[in-house]
Structure 1
Amino acid sequence: MPLAIPLSPTGRPVRLVAACTGALLVAGLAAASPAAAANSVSYDFESPSQKLPFMAINGFGRVLVGPAPGGRSGQAARVNIPNDGRSFKSELVIKGLDAGSHRFDFANYLPSDWQERDLDTIVAQWFSTQDDGEGIKPVVALSVHGANWQLKVHWMTNGEIQEALIPLGAARPGRWNRWTFDITWSSAGRPGSIRVTRDGVTVGSHQGANNYHRGEPPHFRIGAYRPNWRPEKGSSKRVGASEAVLFIDDIAITSTTADSRPDAPATTPGGASSPSQSPTAPTGPTPTGSPSTSSSASAGEVPAGGDTVPGEAVHEARTDATAHGSAGRIGVVGGAVAALAGAAFVLMRRRTAKGSPRSAHRRART
C-alpha cells in the first residue's frame, strides 16, 4: 500500500515528515522481526521430519539415522569414515551459538569391536572459525586415543597455540556414554571454565583460557574426525586400520548463566587469560581429569580446521541455526523509533500552527 504523505496548509508535501515516517516504517519492521541466536537446540533423531544440522563430510563418510545399538530403544545417528585413502571426517555441525555459557549434553557409543589405535578419533569438538582461514586446532576436542577418552583444550599466548591434555578414563566400547559439558568461554580479560561429566560423574575440568579470543564464537561439531587420516599425512596411519564407526544420540544444547548455575566451577577475575592477575595466581589454565594410560598428544597431529582440502569433496546441508540480533539491538531501534516519532509530531504541530486562521490573524495584527 502506498505511503500517505501529509500536506501542509498550503498544499505542499511535508517532505521531512514523509522521510521520518519512512524511517519509522523501516525501523519498526526491524524491531518487529529480529533474528535470534539459536542457543538452545536439541536433536533426538526420532522424527523423520526433523531437520538435521550441517553435515560436514570429507571424502565418502556418512551420517545416517537408524535403529540404536547396544540395547538402546529408538533411533540414533550412525557415523562412519571408511579407510579408503581419502575420507577423514563425518560430522554434524551446529552453529549460531554465542560466546557465553552453555551446557552440551549428548550420548555416544563405540561398538564392541572398536579397534584401539595410537591415533586420535575426535568425536566432539568446539571449533572457532578464524579470520585467517584454516590451519587452526579446535579450541576444545573430545577424542578416543588408544583405550582411553581424553580432552584437549587450546588457547593462544603471544601468538602461539597452547594445549592442555586432560585424561577422562577408559573408553569401554560396547556401552553407551552420557556426556555433559558445562562450558563458559573465556575472553581476553576473563577466565573461562569447562566441567566434564560422564554418566553422572565428573571426570575432568579446566580453569582459565579456553579459546583464541578472535574470530567467531566456537561452534559445536559432533561425529567422527581422524586428523591423521587427512590425505596430506600420507597412508602410514591407515595401514591395518578398520573404518571408524560410532553412534550418537540425544544432542541437547542449553544456554546457561555461569554465575547462577549451582554446579558450575568457580572462576575469578584475573585468571590465566587476564594480564592483571596477581603474582600468587596460577600462571596458566588448570586442568584436572581421570587417571589414564594415555598422557600425551599423538605425535605429528595435523591441526583441525576447515572443511575443504584440495581434491576432497565436501557435502554440507544447511541448518536453521542463526546468530543475528539481540535484545540490545531491539532497545536501540525502539529508542530511534521514539525519537523519530517525536520529531515528526513536533514538526506537524509547527506546520499546522503556521497555516491556521489564528496564526494568520496574529500576523495581520502585527
Structure 2
Amino acid sequence: MVVVLGGASPAAAADAVSYDFESPSQKLPFTAINGFGRVLVGPAPGGKPGLAARVNIPNDGRSFKSELVIKGLDAGSHRFGFANYLPGNWQERDLDTIVAQWFSSQGDGEGIKPVVALSVHGGNWQLKVHWMNGGEIQESVIPLGGARPGHWNQWAFDITWSTAGTPGSIAVTRDGITAGSHQGPNNYHRGEPPHFRIGAYRPNWRPEKGPEKRAGATEAILYIDDITINSTAPGSRENPRPTTPDTTAPSGHPTPSPSPTSTGSPSPSSSTQAGATPTGNPSKPADDAISGATGQKASTDNTPLASTGSTGVITTTVAGVTALAAGAYLLRRRNAARSARRRP
C-alpha cells in the first residue's frame, strides 16, 4: 500500500500531536515540496513493523525539498520525537541533507536559515543552531555522532526557545543516549514562533546554486515515522504539574549569554536510577505541637504564641512566672506598709 501525502494548509499543532502513518483516516501534515519530490506512505524498511513515510528528492536539476510541515506551536517548551532511517545504500556527500528543521517565518517574508536544523553531512549527524547578534546571523555546529545507514534512529529534542531577555536550551538524545546540547540564544526573536519541518531538504540543490553541487549525486531517499510533539511547559497536558517555588525561575530578566555553550560529546542520558535514595529526610517526625491547619504552635490554653520555636515557649513561660512572683512581692510589701501605719 502506498499513499501520497498532501494538503491545502499546514497542520495546526496542539499541546500534543502524533503521526504514526498507520491509519488511512488520520489527517496528515501538509507537504512542502519544491520540484518533483514525493512523500509516500508504505511498508517500513529495516525490519520495522507497520508503515512509514518514504521521502525522496530526485536529482533532476530543480527538486530540492520534500517535507512535512507542522505549524501552530507557541514559543514555549516542547519535546519533539521522531524516528528516521537512511537506507543501506545512502550516498555520503560533503553537503548537508537537512532531515528536520525548526523554521521561524519572518514578518517581512525574508527567507533565512532555519533557527535549528538536524542534518546528515558526509557520514555524520550534526545540529546547527542560529541566532541574531547585532543584526548578523550567528551559527553553532554541534556534532551528534556517526550516521548509521540501515538503522532506525530514535530522536528526541527538548527545546525551550530563547527570547530577547532569556536564554533558551536544546537537549538532544539519539536512541536513548545524550548526543548533544546547546544553551543560550536559539531564535531570531522576531516574526512567528518556529514551526517544525521534517523530511529531506538539500539547500545546495536549489536551482540558483548551479549544477556543480548535484554532479555525481544520487536521488535522496529516507524514511520517517513516529512523529510526536508534546508541550513540556508547566501546566501542560504532558507536564500537568504547576510550577512550584522549588522550580520557579528567579525574578528579573536574565540576559542571554553572549557566548552560547554547545556540546556534542555522546554520553549516557541522565535518568533517575531505580533504588536511588531520595533527597531530604522523609523519616523525620513532625513536631507534636502543631495546632490545626494554621501551622502555629499553641500554648496550653490553645492561644497561638508569637514564636513557633521551642525557645519561644520556654521564654514566654519563664517571663510569665517572673512577672507573677514580682507582683506577689510588691503586694506583700504594700500590705506590710499599711499594717505599720495602723499600729498605735
TM superposition score normalised by structure 1:
0.64
Residue 265 of structure 2 corresponds to 290
Identical counterparts, % of pairs: 80
Q: Secondary structure at the match of 1:38?
A: coil
Return the letter of the residue paired with 1:234: G
How far apart are 1:290 and its partner, in Å? Answer: 3.0
Deviation per CA, 1:26-68: give whole Å up to 9, x if none.
Answer: xxxxxxxxxx962311000000111111100000000000000
SS at match of 1:47: coil
Is the Cα–Cα contact under 8 Å of residues 167 and 255 in structure 2 kept in the other structure? no
| CA-CA distance at 1:133 after TM superposition | 1.0
Q: Pairwise mapping of residues 105-184 of structure 1 onto structure 2 (< 5 A)?
A: 105-184=81-160
Which sections of structure 2, spanning at least 5 residues, go unmatched? 1-11, 242-246, 267-344
Q: Which moved more, 1:134-143 or 1:75-84?
A: 134-143
Offset of residue 132 of structure 1: 1.7
The 2-side partners of 1:119 and 1:196 are apart by 22
Q: CA deviation at 1:135?
A: 2.4
Distance 1:231 1:270, change over 3 A: farther
2:205 to 226, 229, 253: 229
Return the structure number with greater relative CO, CA threshold 8 A, min gap 6: 1
Q: Deviations over 1:105-140 (max 9, x none)?
A: 000000000000010000000000001213210000
Match of 1:328 in 2: none
Work out the CA distance in 1 between the residues paired with 2:240 and 2:55: 33
1:250 is aligned to 226
Any idea what SS the aligned residue of 2:208 has?
helix
Judge conservation of contact 1:191–1:270 (CA < 8 Å) in 2: no
User: In structure 2, do the counterparts of structure 1 residues 217 and 49 end up closer, same or farther at CA, with 3 Å as the change threshold?
Assistant: same
Q: Is the 8 A contact 2:83 2:152 kept in 1?
A: yes
Does structure 1 retain, via aligned residues, the 8 Å contact 2:166–2:255?
Answer: no
TM value normalised by structure 2: 0.68
Matches of residues 175-324 of structure 1 in structure 2 within 5 Å? Answer: 175-257=151-233, 276=255, 282-290=257-265
- Deviation, structure 1 residue 258: 6.8
Structure ID, larger Rg: 2
2:16 counterpart of 1:40: yes
More helix, by proportion:
1
Offset of residue 257 of structure 1: 2.0
Question: Structure 1: how far apart are the matches of 2:226 and 2:99?
Answer: 14
Letter in 2 for 1:287: S
**C-alpha contact (below 8 Å) 2:42/2:53 kept by paired residues:** yes
Q: Distance in 1 between matches of 2:120 and 2:91?
A: 11
Whole-angstrom distance in 2 between the partners of 1:270 and 1:194: 22
Cα RMSD, aligned residues only? 2.3
Q: Distance in 2 between matches of 1:164 and 1:179?
A: 20
Task: Give 1:269 deviation, angstroms.
Answer: 6.8
Distance in 2 separating the partners of 1:44 and 1:112:
23
Check 1:85–1:203 CA distance in 2 against 1; reply closer, same or farther (3 A cut): same
Cα distance, 1:270–1:179 mapped onto 2, change above 3 Å: farther
More strand by share: 2
Alignment coverage as a number of residue pairs = 247
Letter in 1 for 2:157: F
Residue 236 of structure 1 aligns to a residue whose secondary structure is: helix
Q: Which amino acid aligns with 1:290?
A: S
> C-alpha offsets along residues 280-339 of structure 1, whole Å, 9 cap, x if unaligned?
xx5311100037xxxxxxxxxxxxxxxxxxxxxxxxxxxxxxxxxxxxxxxxxxxxxxxx
1:60–1:270 distance in 2 versus 1, CA, 3 Å: farther
Alignment check: 8 A CA contact 1:125 1:220 kept: yes
